[in-house]
Amino acid sequence: MDLADLQTTLRDTYLSRDAERGRDATFRWLTEEVGELAKALRTGDRANLEHEFGDVLAWLLSLANIEGVDLETAIARYADGCPRCGSKPCGCAFP
Ligand SMILES: [Zn+2]
């Protein structure tokens, strides 16, 4: 499964409901899922951690669908390494 296919699947599955809910409410769901991911990172429950990573990605894809953003295009600048220094691994000074 690649990212573009996944975004299409989520669009086909949820876009009408996502659009009805709207951008701001969908963004709030995404941030709630990020909070659940934070909790999963703390507890160390591997199955739950995987579940929450999936939820965060799904809500991010839903939000991108509402906004008409193609995430594969959006992430493309990272495809060949660090977009700032161009290296793999990144050679940038620690922020
Ligand atoms: Zn870098």
pLDDT tens for each residue of the chain, 95 residues long:
899 999 999 999 999 999 999 999 999 999 999 999 999 999 989 999 999 999 999 999 999 999 999 999 999 999 999 999 999 999 999 86
25 alpha carbon – ligand 1 mean position (Å) = 34
Other C-beta atoms lying within 10 Å of the C-beta of residue 87: 11
72 alpha carbon – ligand 1 mean position (Å) = 20
pLDDT of residue 95: 67
88 alpha carbon – ligand 1 mean position (Å) = 8
Instruction: Report the alpha-carbon distance of residue 85 to residue 8 in Å, rounded.
Output: 32
92 alpha carbon – ligand 1 mean position (Å) = 4
34 alpha carbon – ligand 1 mean position (Å) = 25
Longest CA pairwise span in the chain (Å): 44
